[in-house]
Amino acid sequence: MTELNITLLAGGVGGAKAAEGLAASHYAKGTKIIGNIADDDEFHGLWVSPDIDTLMYSLGDQIDRQQGWGRKNETYQVLKELAALGQDTWMTLGDLDLATHIYRTHLKKQGVSASEITRRLSKRHDVSVPILLPTDDVVQTRVKTPQGWMSFQQYFVREHCQADVVEIEYKGIEEATATSEALEQIANSQLIVIAPSNPIVSIGAILAVPEIQAAIEKSQAYVIAISPLIGGKTVKGPADKMLEAAGKSIDSKGIYQCYSRFLNALVIDGADGQDALWLEDQGLDVLVTPTLMNTTQEKTRLLTQVVEFAMSRQLDSLTTRQANRRSS
Ligand code: GDP
Ligand code: CA
């Protein structure tokens, strides 16, 4: 089998499921992941990069599979002591996990780029699929609720996504520069897969890095997204509230609208099958299949099916796709 050059755009938990599916498939060797750094934040003076760590721990089989984030066999001695010292400890950082954040912060202070730090951490966890960053600059998602602006982690972890979302911004995005690795990877890809991640915060923050979305629009790759909604509902997390705040409908159509400028195909669950005709009318290829991924087998099956579907459609002439893109 010839090696396909595949890019996966991925957030945290939904992103890691797709990443694991590709990593366990026949297509692992040609795959690189572009992860999200806009959920990053500082706790106890340490730089934490939750989505990158979720990808890394998942692919390195170090993840706590019950919760989908954090390390397995984790303990919380340091956090307990920080609580005793009167510190805010709503961000659950375990002892093993803290070593990652200490290491990242230490290297960052020495001027090592976030991409290089990710490479070194990935090596320690035997992650064989490269995790690229969209930018080495600091970009942070901020969420406006009726109570005012807060960081993404404050909204997500401290407030448990309870409040309504009024507005979202990616602080620092205008000054951010895309990494050459990410731009090269996009340009060299035959296939770009968008994980069933939050389209507004996880994927939205990757696309918002200047040059990244333009690179995808310009690339000859076939772009296929897996919807993070099943039966019009999120499996977990605030994607529904965020779609609404962005003025998109909370269904496959809303997901399509987030990616309409470059999307060739959307993968939707059978529970959303009623949307297929409308999506096809927009010129999209549509794959209707079970998209809930809990086991390794489910992840591998879905991602293999997604790649094979995309490749079968890829045989359609490039000119048709380019024409579709121009008229969208
Ligand atoms: P986060 O960064 O940890 O919030 O995770 P992501 O942004 O990568 O993914 C969050 C999205 O993944 C949510 O909108 C979920 O609905 C979606 N999701 C999680 N598990 C699954 C799954 O097994 N199948 C599908 N289709 N979506 C999923
Ligand atoms: Ca995230």
**For position 135, which CATH number holds?**
3.40.50.10680
C-beta of residue 18 within 8 angstroms of C-beta of residue 303? yes
User: Does residue 192 have its Cβ closer than 6 Å to ligand 1?
Assistant: no
167 CA from centroid of ligand 2 (Å)? 17
| Domain annotation covers residue 225 | yes
User: Which tens digit of pLDDT belongs to each residue from 281-301?
Assistant: 999 999 999 999 999 999 999
The residues that bridge with 224 in the sheet, in sequence order, are 193, 265
For ligand 1, pick from 234, 241, 242, 305 the residue to mutate: most ligand atoms within 8 Å of CB.
Answer: 234
For ligand 1, pick from 17, 152, 168 the residue to mutate: most ligand atoms within 8 Å of CB.
Answer: 17
Count Cβ atoms within 10 A of the Cβ of residue 272 and give its class: 0-12 exposed, 13-18 middle, 19 or more buried. buried
User: Does residue 238 have its Cβ closer than 6 Å to ligand 1?
Assistant: no
Q: What is the pLDDT of residue 3?
A: 85
User: Does residue 179 have its Cβ closer than 6 Å to ligand 1?
Assistant: no
Distance, CA of 233 to CA of 181 (rounded, Å): 34
136 CA from centroid of ligand 2 (Å)? 17
Distance, CA of 288 to CA of 231 (rounded, Å): 12
Give the CA distances from residue 257 to residues 134, 176, 204, 205, 238, in Å, rounded to whole numbers and listed in that order: 22, 25, 12, 16, 18
User: Does residue 236 have its Cβ closer than 6 Å to ligand 1?
Assistant: yes
- Name residues of the chain where pLDDT drops below 50: 317, 319
| Domain annotation covers residue 315 | yes
193: CB partners within 8 A, 6+ apart: 6, 7, 8, 9, 18, 22, 224, 225, 226, 303, 306, 307, 310
Q: What is the pLDDT of residue 295?
A: 97
| Domain annotation covers residue 251 | yes
Taking the CB of residue 148, how many other CB atoms lie within 10 A of it?
A: 9
189 CA from centroid of ligand 1 (Å)? 24
As residues whose CB is below 5 A from the ion ligand 2, the structure lists 11-12, 39, 51
Domain that holds residue 258: 6-327
Q: What is the pLDDT of residue 252?
A: 97
**How are beta strands 265-268 and 285-288 bridged, if at all?**
parallel
| Domain annotation covers residue 167 | yes
Q: What is the pLDDT of residue 323?
A: 59
212: CB partners within 8 A, 6+ apart: 34, 134, 178, 182, 183, 186, 206
Taking the CB of residue 234, how many other CB atoms lie within 10 A of it?
A: 19
Distance, CA of 217 to CA of 209 (rounded, Å): 14
User: Does residue 230 have its Cβ closer than 6 Å to ligand 1?
Assistant: yes
Gyration radius of the chain's alpha carbons: 19
Distance, CA of 282 to CA of 142 (rounded, Å): 32
| Domain annotation covers residue 152 | yes
**Ligand lying nearest the CA atom of residue 58:** 1
Give the CA distances from residue 117 to residues 56, 99, 105, 136, 295, in Å, rounded to whole numbers and listed in that order: 12, 13, 9, 10, 30
For ligand 1, pick from 236, 275, 298 the residue to mutate: most ligand atoms within 8 Å of CB.
Answer: 236
Q: What angle do CA 118, 124, 128 make, to 5 degrees?
A: 75
Q: Whose CA is nearest to atom 21 of ligand 1?
A: 14
Q: What angle do CA 180, 54, 303 make, to 5 degrees?
A: 80
Alpha helices in the chain (DSSP H): 13-23, 50-59, 77-84, 95-109, 114-124, 152-153, 180-188, 202-207, 212-218, 239-245, 252-259, 276-281, 296-314, 318-327
Ligand 1: atom nearest CA of 156 is: 4
User: Does residue 70 have its Cβ closer than 6 Å to ligand 1?
Assistant: no
**Ligand lying nearest the CA atom of residue 39:** 2
Residue 210 structure tokens: 């200047």
Q: Whose CA is nearest to atom 22 of ligand 1?
A: 292
User: Which tens digit of pLDDT belongs to each residue from 152-173?
Assistant: 999 999 999 999 999 999 999 9
Distance, CA of 200 to CA of 11 (rounded, Å): 10
Domain count, the chain: 1
Count Cβ atoms within 10 A of the Cβ of residue 23 and give its class: 0-12 exposed, 13-18 middle, 19 or more buried. buried
User: Per residue in 30-46, is it b (16+ CB within 10 Å) or e — as a string?
Assistant: bbbbbbbbbbbbebbeb
Q: Whose CA is nearest to atom 4 of ligand 1?
A: 12
| Domain annotation covers residue 1 | no
User: Does residue 11 have its Cβ closer than 6 Å to ligand 1?
Assistant: yes
